[in-house]
Chains A and B, each alone.
Chain A
Amino acid sequence: AQSVTQLDSQVPVFEEAPVELRCNYSSSVSVYLFWYVQYPNQGLQLLLKYLSGSTLVKGINGFEAEFNKSQTSFHLRKPSVHISDTAEYFCAVRGGYQKVTFGTGTKLQVIP
C-alpha cells in the first residue's frame, strides 16, 4: 500500500516571501512523485514530477521540489510567492500497479 501525507491543510504567506509545502509518502516499492496545482473552479495541472535522477526537480511558475528518499519526503518550495500562486496544491505518489494516490491538499493563501 502507498500513502501521502500533507501535514499542512492551509499555509498563509505574505507576497514575495518564501514558502515550503510539505509532503511525506510511504510505499513498499519505488515511486514516482508529483505536485499538482488546482486553481479555483479548475482541474488539476502538473507543477513538477520526480521520476529518477537528480533529486532537485524544477517545475513551472518558479516552483521546485526535492526528493529525499531517507526521509520519504518531497517538499515543494518557492523562493518568492506571488498573489497568483494562491491555489490548492496536491502531492501525489505513483507506485505499485501504477495507481496514483493523492494527499489531502494544502491551500496556499498569498497575502498582499
Chain B
Amino acid sequence: DADVTQTPRNRITKTGKRIMLECSQTKGHDRMYWYRQDPGLGLRLIYYSFDVKDINKGEISDGYSVSRQAQAKFSLSLESAIPNQTALYFCATSAATGNTEAFFGQGTRLTVV
C-alpha cells in the first residue's frame, strides 16, 4: 500500500461545484502539504500544516481551503470550482526533524468544465 494516498485519482466537475480532495498517510509524519502542478509552472504550494492545530497558507491559497482532521488526514476543498483550477494536485508529507525529504502521493487530476 502507498504511504501517501490521494482520493480520487481523477475527477471531472462543473464550474461552481464544491469538491474535496482527500489525502491520508501512514508515514507518521506531522507535516502535510498540498501542491498543484501546472505545465511549465512546476509545483506551487497551496496550503501546509505542521501539526493538527497548525494550518498555513501557501503561495496560491485563494479559492482553496483545507482541513486537518487528524495527523494522518489532510483534505483540500474547492468551495466553488472554476476552470483555471484544472490541474494536477499533489499531497505530500515530511517529518518535523531528521530526514527532511517530502513523500508524495500519486496525484489527483482535476478537470473543471
Stretch in A13-21, A63-71, A96-104 with 4+ CB within 8 Å of B: A96-104
Given A99-B45, A103-B42, A104-B42, A43-B100 contact (CB < 8 Å): no
Cross-chain contact B101 with A42 (CB below 8 angstroms): no
User: In the complex, which residues of chain A have a beta carbon less than 8 angstroms from the beta carbon of B40?
Assistant: 9, 104-105
Indicate with 1 or 0, residue by residue over B40-66, a CB within 8 angstroms of chain A CB atoms.
Answer: 111111001010000000100000000
Cross-chain contact B42 with A100 (CB below 8 angstroms): no
Question: Taking the nearest CB of chain A, how far is it from the CB of B72, in angstroms?
Answer: 17
- For chain B, what secondary structure do more than half of its interface residues adopt (helix, strand, loop), or is it mixed? strand
Query: Is A90 positioned at the interface, with any CB of B under 8 Å from its CB?
Result: yes
Interface residues on B, range: 20 to 34
Chain A, range 81-112, C-beta contacts under 8 Å to B:
90, 92, 94, 98-105
Given A43-B90, A98-B31, A49-B101 contact (CB < 8 Å): yes
Given A98-B31, A99-B48, A45-B43 contact (CB < 8 Å): no
Query: Is B104 positioned at the interface, with any CB of A under 8 Å from its CB?
Result: yes
Indicate with 1 or 0, residue by residue over A49-82, a CB within 8 angstroms of chain B CB atoms.
Answer: 1010000000000000000000000000000000
Cross-chain contact B100 with A32 (CB below 8 angstroms): yes
Cross-chain contact A94 with B100 (CB below 8 angstroms): yes
Query: Is A25 positioned at the interface, with any CB of B under 8 Å from its CB?
Result: no
User: In the complex, which residues of chain A have a beta carbon less than 8 angstroms from the beta carbon of B4?
Assistant: 43
Which among A32, A42, A90, A94 is the interface contact of B43 at CB below 8 angstroms? A90
Cross-chain contact A34 with B42 (CB below 8 angstroms): no
Query: Is A44 positioned at the interface, with any CB of B under 8 Å from its CB?
Result: yes
Which residue of chain B is the closest to A45 with respect to CB atoms? B104
Q: List 17 other contacts, CB 8 Å, given A43-B105, A101-B45, A105-B42.
A: A34-B101, A42-B106, A43-B4, A43-B90, A43-B106, A44-B102, A49-B101, A94-B100, A98-B50, A98-B94, A98-B100, A99-B45, A99-B58, A100-B92, A102-B42, A102-B44, A104-B41
> Which residues in B have some Cβ–Cβ distance to A below 8 Å?
4, 31, 33, 35, 40-45, 48, 50, 58, 90, 92, 94, 100-102, 104-107
